[in-house]
Structure 1
Amino acid sequence: MNTLMLVCASAASLALGVLAAYGVCWLAFTIFRVHSQSVAAARVAKVNLNAEAPASQV
């Protein structure tokens, strides 16, 4: 009985660790996605400003 409890506790601990790691990775990639979208928007705005400026100001 004690061995079964130890095996179940180990499996539960492993499952919680995997879920925690998944949550951390999901959060990190969500933050990276928001950051990359903001950088892309800034680059597009800069390109649009350069395209609209006269050749003497570029």
Structure 2
Amino acid sequence: MFEVDAASRKLGIELIELSPGHARMSMVVTEDMVNGYAITHGGYVFLLADTTFAMACNS
């Protein structure tokens, strides 16, 4: 599933651990991903959470 998720892979999300009902992923935040307060934009945080949730649910 993750191999064909172009959006997540393009943003550098990496699969760290996968087992039945469990997933752990990571993403390096770049300057292009921060908001006006210099913190990670919520859309990127949600994308990482959504991708990780999908991996866990489909494992």
Normalized per residue, which structure has more helix?
1
TM-score normalized with structure 1 length: 0.34
TM-score normalized with structure 2 length: 0.33
Select the structure of larger CA radius of gyration.
1
More contact order relative to length (CA 8 Å, sep ≥ 6): 2
Normalized per residue, which structure has more strand?
2
